[in-house]
Amino acid sequence: MYTVDSYDVIVIGGGHAGAEASLACARKGHKTLLATLNLDNIALMPCNPAVGGPGKSHLVFELDALGGQMAINADKTAVQMRMLNRGKGPAVHALRAQSDKVAYQKLMKETLEKTDNLNIKQIMVTDLVVEEGQVKGIVSELGEFYSAKAVILCTGTYLRGKIITGELTYTGGPNGQRAAEHLSESLRQCGIELMRFKTGTPARVDKRTLHMDEMAEQLGDTQYHAFSFMDDWIDRNEQMCWLTYTNETTHQIIRDNLSRAPMYSGLIEGTGPRYCPSIEDKVVRFKDKKRHQLFIEPEGNHTQEMYVQGMSTSLPIDVQYAFLRTIPGLEDVEIMRPAYAIEYDCLNPLQLTPALAVKSIKGLYSAGQANGTSGYEEAAAQGLMAGINAALYIEGRNPFILSRSEAYIGVLIDDLVTKGTKEPYRMMTSRSEYRLLLRQDNADLRLTEKGRQIGLVSDERYARFLKKKEQIEEGLHVLKEKQINPTKEVQAKLQAMGTAGTKTGVTAYDLVKRTELDYGMVADAFDLPRYSPAVEEELNTSITYEGYIKKQMDQVEKVRKLEEKIIPKEWDYMAMKGISLEAQQKLTKIRPHSIGQASRISGVSPADISVLLIQLEQYRRSQGQVK
């Protein structure tokens, strides 16, 4: 074995989790190695050519507020942007960007290569080196040894990856890449429990063979947006998407070929994602549904490849052609890349702490699809947090943990390490109990100060944040100070604005509270200063939903006290009297960080929590700690 070099942190995997993890460590000044199977596939988008969407967009905004890279990359390589769920409240608004996937990869690779303290190498990692419960480094297939104080697993879907299309199966990763065949066994030998999951992707089709006039156009928003708080809201709409639908003929072809579908023939062993099912799964599960919508999306500015969103499948290629050609606009379609399913190994996330550290091995962290999640955004968010915490571990500092009330990132990680997952986990707004507080528009207000304290928020970003915060405070002050008296001129203005007049004097703040009005309308009518769209959006939301926001903040305060009650790591739950056997077993396995986390474990009752609180108080007194 040849010793090559020594690092502070080694990140295994160059996908979205690995990119964010390695950037975080390097930007904090730690010598970092990113070990990837293929230098040409850094930040690869092996599935949909997009960033964001319901729940996922919140993660991207939060990642950006903390100093991550995904949002900046998404803005610079977007070919279309749309705000989803605009007909609903601001808590579920979700920005989604169609990306030029090749440009996205190139930009992320360039960013990594230009980052100080960061080396990138094309390495097939075969072994994790652990001595006396402490990670020591990695070994490559060429017999190279790289030592490290901390290692972050960001292996994605490459651990013992197996590609499945109809009756054909072969070892491989996404897009025909190599799979990591030996690392799984090394992890098992280190005592790490692995699960077997499955995901899939639709066919890519040739745009020249499509009939766009038979499909509905899907335009980008004329009201512009940006993912990054560092970027302006400008027009990023360069490409068109299209909408079409399956039909009964499509469904019948699929039903006639279910015996050839790997998920029904027994070829697929892994558990697939419930919220992103294959088309054959949709047809079987939703028998009464006459059609399913499909979005035809561009893969970039310099390719004819189109992505058939909603048509994931592992059926044989002849069946793929047969059902695709029954769909309006796809009657003459030519497939450029066939759809496939992929099985892979991943860690049971119950083995992780809220800092994404592996409990049984000091210095080992894990992030992304390696933890049983799905999606680029979930991976990137975990990668950033694992990178931050690996760096803090090396520095001898306490871990950085976001609570459920602070961020969707907190919800994501808490769900994984507290509840585990039986299928690829997908972030959705419904998973958060504090949705109105955790909007995508206020992620910077919630998290930029934290990112600054960690050391990932640059001076430029922080100055921009402070300016926005100052303008919001100024706007609120102006609205509250501006008196609107019920003169004839005022009544006429209000009527022209489509709102009721006022019998008594009100403030401009009171007017913005009306659902039919917003800051811009009131400002123009009564000569108030105008601000950027981002500032005015924040003013509108915080004022309109003021009462609801206050209620949620009161709920957060009640829960916060339980989150602050940290449980000693050495507690022996099996020796505790007064809690159920199920609670003892669950607590021993998960080893919660706090009473708050313990209260969310399935099988731990309120009565068990009461006993834990008493035990914690007795422990604190025995340690001479004040209340």
The predicted-structure confidence for 514-572, as pLDDT tens digits, reads as follows: 999 999 999 999 999 999 999 999 999 999 999 999 999 998 988 888 888 999 988 99
Q: pLDDT tens digits, residue range 284-342? A: 999 999 999 999 999 999 999 999 999 999 999 999 999 999 999 999 999 999 999 99
Average pLDDT of 605-613? 92
Domains of the chain plus CATH, in order, are: 204-341 (2.40.30.260), 459-546 (1.10.10.1800), 565-622 (1.10.150.570)
pLDDT of residue 25: 98
Which pLDDT does position 626 carry in this prediction?
55
pLDDT digit string, tens, across residues 205-245: 999 999 999 999 999 999 899 999 999 999 999 999 999 99
Q: Give the pLDDT band (50/70/90) at residue 269.
A: confident
35 CB-near residues (< 8 Å, 6+ apart): 10, 11, 12, 13, 14, 121, 123, 125, 138, 140, 146
**pLDDT tops 90 at residue 432:** yes
Reply yes or no on whether the pLDDT at 477 is more than 60.
Answer: yes
- Write the DSSP symbol of residue 273: P
Distance of CA 496 to the CA centre of its chain: 43
Q: How far, in Å, CA of 576 to CA of 572, rounded?
A: 7
Contact 79, 99 (CB under 8 A): yes
Does 263 have pLDDT greater than 90?
A: no
The residue-averaged pLDDT of 370-387 equals 97
Answering whether pTM is above 0.85, one says yes
Classify residue 143 as exposed, middle or buried by CB count within 10 Å of its CB (0-12, 13-18, 19+).
Answer: exposed
Q: Given this model, what pLDDT does residue 605 score?
A: 92
Average pLDDT score over the chain = 94
Burial 455-469 (b: 16+ CB within 10 A, else e): bbbeeebeebbeebb
